[in-house]
Copies of this chain bind each other. A is one copy, B any other.
């Protein structure tokens, strides 16, 4: 009987163990997938953020062009990363090749972790889209397609293999005595942003500045080319700030290991703080130098801070975020200045933001990251050799990232240059890419204007008052004498009035109208309507009638 009881217990226990294991597996597999997918979703929207940051920063004549580029990035990267990119980044490979390239799971053949693929794909799209800002307003469309394919399928995946796959040479680092050092780059300060920033300045240099950006002596043209919409740039900035939280927070890659929830939250908080410190530091410096509170550069500085947060946001205390952030603001300031001094035209400051922020992020984590050099100074139990070697390794990796990115991209752009498809013709550049290349003006003239404009304005008391004053001058009547007309007048401003043209035939109205003295500028239209129309002849919107 006791044996029966024990058998029962054992069976129950077995069932329970199975149930529990099943539960744990669901936890690991499903909720991790849920976490990765929901963060990836938000990162996917960053493409929209880049699109509007860039659209706001270009002139209206190139707005459609830059929007299409950013839209296509997601799509091209989707196919490129699916076919080749993932295989190079995370496909298992063997032998001497494995620290350098992945080499299987092309077209996802044999790949089973779709959540991870999705998450890695949105990163690839981000890396590639950085460049479109640097070559804005002048790059040939076909060149854009080529570099999108190459960066998202080859250049970027190689870097992620080095830095993030378990085989990667950067990730595995080296062993020195009892110290083992590996590349630290939680969310891609180096792999994503240093790569994108490096290619950006190369591309901007090879393609040359926009016409009028750095006018030579005697040439016409302004040193400054303003974008056409601050609100669009701000919209992009807001969406990117939103996206960066998922970008960095989601980089845990999972949510089921003990403690990882707080790591993700810490990463998000540090991302906010880094961005805030960078933005405020930059904004006040800019104010002291120019007397203006800039929004466009403050957004850039904020993004540079968030870029810098990528590397170590999971291992920094929040005070360290202040140092990383302020440093990122200064780094952005410096690298953007370098770029301008070199007379390289980078319309979006992609170099300053992504190179400047990314490079500083990789360095900064060695100082203020947990057990970093700064800790070592105050806490002698920390092995400074470890922290020092980490810094060396970070610098070596940063160099490797720059060399690979610039080297591979240089060959690509050189070929495009030889094929004479790097840049559009000067006439197309001057007149704008939208209509010539895309057949779609961002704001087609024919789509603007409306037929109620008199009414709209007349409803506005100021305009009405001005109108009446002008009428009174014209007809030699005082405002008081015009009072009875005013009442009538408000009938004319009622839209319903115009739906019944017979009203115009009304004798009383006619008489009212005829009281006005003729005015040579009215072309025979003596009604208040005509008068108002003349007042409104400064109206900027063509009437669709």
Closest B residue to A318 using CB positions = B108
A26, B20: Cα distance in complex, Å: 14
Q: Is A23 an interface residue when CB atoms closer than 8 A count as contact?
A: yes
Q: Within the complex, which residue of B16, B231, B425 is in contact with A499, where a contact is CB–CB below 8 Å?
A: B425
A272, B76: Cα distance in complex, Å: 10
Closest B residue to A40 using CB positions = B268
Q: Within the complex, which residue of B19, B235, B262, B268 is in contact with A24, where a contact is CB–CB below 8 Å?
A: B19
Q: Is A290 an interface residue when CB atoms closer than 8 A count as contact?
A: yes
A 56-80 to B, binary, CB cutoff 8 A, 1 in contact else 0: 0011110110011001101110110
Q: Is A407 an interface residue when CB atoms closer than 8 A count as contact?
A: no
A261, B34: Cα distance in complex, Å: 6
A 281-321 to B, binary, CB cutoff 8 A, 1 in contact else 0: 00100000010111110110010000000000000001100
Q: Is A475 an interface residue when CB atoms closer than 8 A count as contact?
A: no
Chain B residues with Cβ below 8 Å from A513 are none
Chain B residues with Cβ below 8 Å from A147 are none
Chain B residues with Cβ below 8 Å from A6 are 2, 5-6, 9
The dominant DSSP class at the A interface is helix
Contact B544 A71 (CB under 8 A): no
Which one, A169-177, A191-199, A218-226, A480-488, is touching chain B? Answer: A218-226
In order of increasing CB-CB distance, the 4 nearest A-B pairs are A33-B261, A431-B451, A30-B261, A292-B439
Contact B19 A20 (CB under 8 A): yes
Closest B residue to A462 using CB positions = B222
A 25-41 to B, binary, CB cutoff 8 A, 1 in contact else 0: 11101111111111011
Contacts A48-B235, A61-B544, A231-B55 given; indicate if A452 touches B438 (C-beta within 8 A): no
Chain B residues with Cβ below 8 Å from A212 are 462
Q: Is A238 an interface residue when CB atoms closer than 8 A count as contact?
A: yes
CB distance from A304 to the nearest CB of B (A): 13
A 219-261 to B, binary, CB cutoff 8 A, 1 in contact else 0: 0111111111111101101110110011001000001111111
Which one, A110-118, A350-358, A387-395, is touching chain B? Answer: A110-118
Which one, A91-99, A333-341, A520-528, A534-542, is touching chain B? Answer: A534-542
Contact A17 B16 (CB under 8 A): yes
As for how many copies of this chain the complex holds, the number is 3
Contacts A63-B230, A68-B298, A295-B68 given; indicate if A450 touches B435 (C-beta within 8 A): yes
Which one, A202-210, A372-380, A408-416, A453-461, is touching chain B? Answer: A453-461
Contact B256 A30 (CB under 8 A): yes
Contact B33 A265 (CB under 8 A): yes
A506, B162: Cα distance in complex, Å: 60
Contact B290 A78 (CB under 8 A): no
CB distance from A408 to the nearest CB of B (A): 24
Contacts A35-B34, A452-B431 given; indicate if A437 touches B292 (C-beta within 8 A): yes
Contact A231 B427 (CB under 8 A): no
Contact A280 B231 (CB under 8 A): no
Contacts A235-B48, A296-B440, A445-B453 given; indicate if A27 touches B24 (C-beta within 8 A): no
Chain B residues with Cβ below 8 Å from A186 are none
Q: Within the complex, which residue of B31, B75, B82, B237 is in contact with A71, where a contact is CB–CB below 8 Å?
A: B237
A 111-142 to B, binary, CB cutoff 8 A, 1 in contact else 0: 01111011001000000000000000000010
Chain B residues with Cβ below 8 Å from A342 are none
